[in-house]
């Protein structure tokens, strides 16, 4: 099933706001001229920014609102003013069917709360999960979920995350049978909490799903590329994500310091520049920008607040791909197949 991608953009979200969000949307449309947009936010600022992007202007409608969800707003505060904020109205466009998906770089907790309230969770899903693609040493990226939406999860939650993550890997990476693993403190079957061990038992006995359960994986193997989907609760997942991001910054900063420490180091940098540029590209978070809330009746993506135009464009591209490949239908079908297999 191929769907025409129309995406609602929370133009006021992110560290820079309108200018960066629209620059990213325009960059995405230059590569995918079938994209159409609903731009939500202050109409005056949006129209001023569109002067620099005539290609985007021709494919966009504007919904005006003065309301903005700030980084300090609690989810409960954001929900109360959802109908008057750019974030809330972007999600509402998905709910009404005016847009196939929404992209925001705003407050993650508020986005999660408003999206869950407006779109509701899919049948068979207890809780939505935040999933993202991260770079590895293998041929493909790895899907990690949950990255912070649910701090405590039972075995059924983890199994649902595994099914959703596998569907996402098939959609975003074109894998027929993604390899799925549970993050644990060891690879032995007796290691880990009761919830993790119970989830593993359920996944080992699952039949008829287009995925391969690969058992447990430890934290030092997250970026090796040995598996395609890594499942964990939101508490562990958020710590793992921040650790990976911090390590990437540490490596790049350490290299920068080393290559500027002396004249000889600067000459060495010039010689090794092709390799260091490749490393910088691989570790650049803008190349993997875009986390999706899986398990909702609609497509909602969170862009990093500090993403540049290229990062926003990558998030928009991912949103369009998930709309075109109908990720919601794929997750629904996989869950139905899992329940049938479980009942058998």
Cα 147 to Cα 109: distance, rounded to the nearest angstrom: 12
Region of 290 please: left (phi>0), alpha (psi -120 to 50) or beta. Answer: left
Rounded to the nearest integer, the mean pLDDT of the chain is 88
pLDDT less than 50: residues of the chain: 1-2, 343-344
Over residues 253-274, the pLDDT tens digits come to 777 777 777 777 767 656 655 6
Cα 53 to Cα 280: distance, rounded to the nearest angstrom: 29
Cα 138 to Cα 144: distance, rounded to the nearest angstrom: 15
Q: Is the peptide bond before 146 cis (omega within 30 degrees of 0)?
A: yes
- Count the alpha carbons within 13 Å of 17 in the hemisphere toward its beta carbon: 13
pLDDT of the residue at 39: 97
| Residues shown for the chain | 344
**What distances in angstroms separate CA 240 from CA 219, 230, 233, 237, one per listed residue?**
8, 11, 11, 5
Q: With contact defined as beta carbons under 8 Å apart, do 161 and 146 qualify?
A: yes
Over residues 71-127, the pLDDT tens digits come to 898 999 999 998 999 999 999 999 999 999 999 999 999 999 999 999 999 988 999
pLDDT of the residue at 268: 64
pLDDT of the residue at 2: 44
pLDDT of the residue at 250: 82
Q: Which of 7, 11, 29 is nearest to 21 (CA)?
A: 11
pLDDT of the residue at 274: 63
Q: Which long-range contacts (CB under 8 A, 24 or more apart) does 67-76 make?
A: 68/12, 68/41, 68/106, 69/13, 69/106, 69/107, 69/110, 69/111, 70/107, 71/106, 71/107, 71/305, 73/107, 73/110, 74/109, 74/110, 75/109, 75/110, 75/112, 75/113, 75/114, 76/113
Please list, in sequence order, all residues whose beta carbon lies within 8 angstroms of the beta carbon of residue 53, skipping any fewer than 6 positions away.
Answer: 22, 23, 25, 26
Supply 317's token pair.
């591209």
Cα 279 to Cα 283: distance, rounded to the nearest angstrom: 6
pLDDT of the residue at 305: 87
The pTM for the full model equals: 0.87
If DSSP codes are grouped into helix, strand and coil, which group holds residue 63? Answer: strand
DSSP 11: T
Q: Which residue(s) pair with 144 in the sheet?
A: 132, 230
């Amino acid at each position: 099933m191929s769907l025409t991608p129309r995406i609602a953009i929370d133009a006021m979200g992110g560290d820079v706001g309108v200018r960066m969000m629209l620059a990213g949307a325009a960059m995405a449309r230059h590569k995918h001229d079938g994209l159409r947009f609903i731009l939500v936010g202050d109409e005056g600022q949006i129209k001023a920014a569109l002067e620099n992007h005539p290609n985007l202007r021709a494919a966009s409608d504007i919904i005006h609102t003065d309301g903005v969800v700030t980084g300090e707003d609690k989810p409960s505060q954001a929900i109360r003013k959802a109908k008057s904020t750019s974030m809330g109205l972007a999600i509402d466009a998905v709910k009404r069917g005016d847009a196939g998906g929404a992209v925001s770089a705003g407050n993650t907790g508020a986005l999660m709360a408003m999206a869950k309230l407006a779109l509701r969770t899919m049948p068979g899903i207890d809780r939505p999960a935040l999933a993202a693609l991260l770079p590895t040493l293998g041929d493909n990226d790895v899907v990690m979920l949950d990255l912070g939406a649910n701090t405590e999860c039972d075995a059924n939650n983890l199994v649902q995350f595994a099914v959703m993550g596998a569907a996402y890997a098939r959609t975003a990476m074109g894998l027929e049978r993604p390899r799925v693993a549970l993050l644990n403190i060891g690879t032995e079957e007796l290691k880990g909490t009761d919830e993790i061990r119970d989830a593993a038992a359920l996944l080992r006995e699952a039949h008829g799903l287009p995925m391969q359960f690969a058992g447990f994986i430890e934290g030092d193997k997250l970026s090796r590329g040995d598996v395609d989907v890594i499942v964990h609760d939101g508490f562990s997942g958020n710590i793992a994500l921040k650790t990976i991001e911090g390590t990437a910054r540490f490596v790049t900063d350490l290299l920068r310091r080393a290559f500027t420490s002396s004249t000889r180091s600067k000459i060495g940098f010039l010689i090794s520049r092709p390799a260091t540029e490749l490393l910088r590209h691989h570790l650049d978070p803008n190349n993997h920008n875009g986390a999706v809330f899986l398990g909702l009746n609609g497509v909602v993506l969170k862009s990093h607040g500090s993403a540049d135009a290229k990062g926003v464009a990558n998030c928009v591209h991912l949103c369009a791909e998930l709309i075109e490949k109908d990720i919601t239908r794929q997750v629904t079908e996989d869950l139905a197949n899992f329940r049938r297999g479980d009942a058998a």
